[in-house]
Structure 1
Amino acid sequence: MAKQLDYQTLRAVFARFHEAEPEPKGELEHVNAYTLVVAVALSAQATDAGVNKATRELFKVADTPEKMLALGEEGLIEHIKTIGLFRQKAKNVIKLSRILVEEHGGEVPNSRAALVALPGVGRKTANVVLNMWWRHPAQAVDTHIFRVGNRTGIAPGKDVEAVERAIEDHVPADYQLHAHHWLILHGRYICVARKPKCAACHIYEYCRYEDKTA
């Protein structure tokens, strides 16, 4: 675990991220808050590309909780059976759709507590929805962010919640909204797990990763 970068260094790091990509976007395809919840719930232990391939047709016929309930669990399975753990995920999507209809008038709530109460929706999923749809500066820490945060010193922590707190506590406020997207994309395409592409890294000079290569 690298030592936490100081405030001025973090400003420089995120200025570089902003310069490279001023408006980073999540890669999960969705058309509204509900389809975003479903897509993120389906993405657990699966790739965004794999989820997008399955949901493109699904969301044409079920883009609201009411339509998803009408489609039913078996109908949903037909659309998502290429995704890992599809049976349990289908059960969760149907359950959360029913709760949204019965308790929230078919609308997706914009509170973390209400979101994590939905089946199959954990803190990370809730934070993605709060950030991408409601534009809250919530930090959804996945394996990419956990790795990048600890390698570089941007947000070191022993677990995902510690990394989340490190981002919230140390990343400059004006970069908080997009912080998790920059870090996910950096981890997905540059600071990869086995052979990080240090030569292509635009924050190389600030990184505290002991094994980085020129």
Structure 2
Amino acid sequence: MAQQLDYHTIREIFTRFHAAEPEPKGELHHVNAYTLVVAVALSAQATDAGVNKATARLFEIADTPEKMLALGEAGLIEHIKTIGLFRNKAKNVIKLSQILVEQYGGAVPCSRAALQSLPGVGRKTANVVLNMWWRYPAQAVDTHIFRVGNRTGLCPGKDVVAVERAIEDNVPVDFQQHAHHWLILHGRYICVARKPKCGACLIRDLCQFEEKTE
């Protein structure tokens, strides 16, 4: 685990990320808060591209919890059976849809605790929804962010919660809104797991990773 970078270095790193991509976006397709919750829940142990392919038709016919319940678990499975763990995910989506209808009038709640109470929705999913839909500066730490945070020294931590707190504590507030998107995209396309593309890296000179590639 790299040592925590200092404030000025962190600000320079995010200044570069911002210059390269001022408004980074999540790659999961959605049309409202409900479809965002479903898409993120489906994305566990699956690629965003795979989820987008599966939900393209699904969200045309079931973009509210009421419509999802009308579709039913069997109907949902037909749309998402190309995604890993689709049977369990289908059960969770139907259950969370039922809860949204019965307890929240069909609306998606905007608190982390309420979101995490839904089946199949963990802290990461809740933070993605809070960030992307309600523009709350929540930090959704996935494997990409965990890797980048520890390799670079931007936000080191021994687990995802520690990395989340390191981002909240050390990233300047003006970069908090988009911090997790910049880090996810950096980890997904540049600071990849097996052979990071250090030669194409915007922050190579500021990164603490010792085993840099050419």
Question: In structure 1, the residue corresponding to 2:205 is in which secondary structure?
Answer: helix
Amino acid at match of 1:131: N
Quote the Cα distance in structure 1 between the aligned partners of 2:43 and 2:202: 28
Quote the Cα distance in structure 1 between the aligned partners of 2:24 and 2:205: 22
In structure 1, the residue matched to 2:132 is 132
Q: Cα deviations across residues 50-100 of structure 1 (Å, max 9, x unaligned)?
A: 000000000000000000000000000000000000000000000000000
Shift of 1:213: 2.5
Amino acid at match of 2:23: E
Quote the Cα distance in structure 1 between the aligned partners of 2:153 and 2:172: 14
In structure 2, the residue matched to 1:177 is 177
Quote the Cα distance in structure 2 between the aligned partners of 1:57 and 1:184: 26
Question: In structure 1, the residue corresponding to 2:135 is in which secondary structure?
Answer: coil
Quote the Cα distance in structure 2 between the aligned partners of 1:105 and 1:149: 39
Using structure 2 for the length normalisation, give the TM-score: 1.00
Question: In structure 2, the residue corresponding to 1:40 is in which secondary structure?
Answer: helix
In structure 2, the residue matched to 1:32 is 32
Question: In structure 2, the residue corresponding to 1:23 is in which secondary structure?
Answer: coil
Alpha-carbon RMSD across the aligned residues, in angstroms, is 0.4
Quote the Cα distance in structure 1 between the aligned partners of 2:90 and 2:17: 37
Quote the Cα distance in structure 2 between the aligned partners of 1:204 and 1:175: 19
In structure 1, the residue matched to 2:207 is 207
Q: Figure out how many residues of one structure are paired with residues of the other and give that number.
A: 214
In structure 2, the residue matched to 1:189 is 189
Whether the aligned pair in 1 keeps the contact of 2:54 and 2:82 (CA below 8 Å) is yes
Any gaps of 5 or more consecutive residues in structure 2? none
Any gaps of 5 or more consecutive residues in structure 1? none
In structure 1, the residue matched to 2:50 is 50
Amino acid at match of 2:106: G
In structure 1, the residue matched to 2:22 is 22
Using structure 1 for the length normalisation, give the TM-score: 1.00
In structure 1, the residue matched to 2:74 is 74
Shift of 1:149: 0.2
Shift of 1:210: 1.0
Query: Equivalent residues in 2 for 1:32-181 (5 A)?
Result: 32-181=32-181
Q: Cα deviations across residues 111-150 of structure 1 (Å, max 9, x unaligned)?
A: 0000000000000000000000000000000000000000
Quote the Cα distance in structure 2 between the aligned partners of 1:40 and 1:173: 25
Amino-acid identity (%) = 82
Moved over 6 A (4+): none
Quote the Cα distance in structure 1 between the aligned partners of 2:150 and 2:11: 17
